[in-house]
Amino acid sequence: MNSEFNSWINKPMSEVTDEDVADFVKGFVKIGKPALGRNCLAKLRAMLSWAMAPDRRRAFRLEANPALHLTPRLLNLDVRRARQRILSRAELRAYLLACERLPNVSDEVLGKALAYIPRRLNELTQAKWSDVDLERKRWTVQSAQDHERIHPLSNVATSLLEELRSIALPQADDFVFGNGAGNKGPRNRSRLKRMIDDRMKQILRDDGIEFREWRWQDLRRTVYALLLDLSGPDDIAKIAMGRAAGIPKFYTYSTLRQHVREALELLAVEITAIRDGVPGLDE
């Protein structure tokens, strides 16, 4: 609905051309969001196919479907080839500082939790206080398959959640990071990322570093790389990230949980050092 992004927003549908639709969808590629462009193209094609029904096309005065021959490949929307990257220490530091500058404490803690509690964003946004045991420093993660998995919390992660809970004493069935649409937990992640991006750009600019587009998955991949460097065995890093099911060989539940907790404590120390500007071995 933004006329600066969509040049044909005020045109009658009968005057919209295939070039108009193509330019609009390509705009998402230019800002580094080919997946969003692909989804948008699918919705536009569905809408225009619906509008081409005989009774409707007369009402809209459509002579042809402007999106009929537009395909994801033609518009360079092959998201499978989308780049993947790991954030630098400077970018990760800018991310953490940007979270601290968010106006809402819940957003700040959620943003930092994605680094200190390396689980998926949808898992965090659906967490309830009844799932969190701050005294024992652990969180019971509820999966889509109704499986429960215990996730240890580092001292820093526990402190973050304690800070959030101290603002207003919540009910046990309250979502940790506030209620989202439909009272189901998930927040608007696009809004959160835009706010973080705006602050990251300023922080990096002050340090003479160019801002580069990143995705939530890039942040998750960055934390996983840190865990691999710190914890050693790949099995431990995967379990800490919630990417593995079952117990690896030569582990018991107790020893595995202890190793994961130790890895998360090391991760917390490293992330705090990055936030404080302590240089790494490669700097």
Transcribe 176-220 into DSSP letters.
Answer: TT---GGGSS---HHHHHHHHHHHHHHHHHHTT-------HHHHH
Cβ-contact 76, 23 below 8 angstroms: no
SS3 148: strand
Cβ-contact 77, 41 below 8 angstroms: yes
* Residues 181-206: tens digit of each pLDDT: 444 444 578 889 999 999 999 999 99
SS3 112: helix
Whether the predicted pLDDT of 179 surpasses 70: no
Query: 155 or 11: which carries more pLDDT confidence?
Result: 155
Average confidence (pLDDT) over 31-36: 79
* Residues 203-238: tens digit of each pLDDT: 999 999 999 999 999 999 999 999 988 876 688 888
Cβ-contact 106, 61 below 8 angstroms: no
The separation between the first and the last C-alpha atoms of the chain, rounded to the nearest angstrom, is: 45
* Residues 123-152: tens digit of each pLDDT: 898 889 999 999 999 998 876 554 558 889
Whether the predicted pLDDT of 259 surpasses 60: yes
Q: What does each C-alpha distance from 7 to 10, 19, 114, 244 come to in angstroms?
A: 8, 11, 37, 46
> What structural domains and CATH numbers belong to the chain?
14-81 (no CATH), 89-275 (1.10.443.10)
Burial of 148 (0-12, 13-18, 19+ CB in 10 A): exposed
Q: Look up residue 207 and give its two tokens.
A: 């340090």
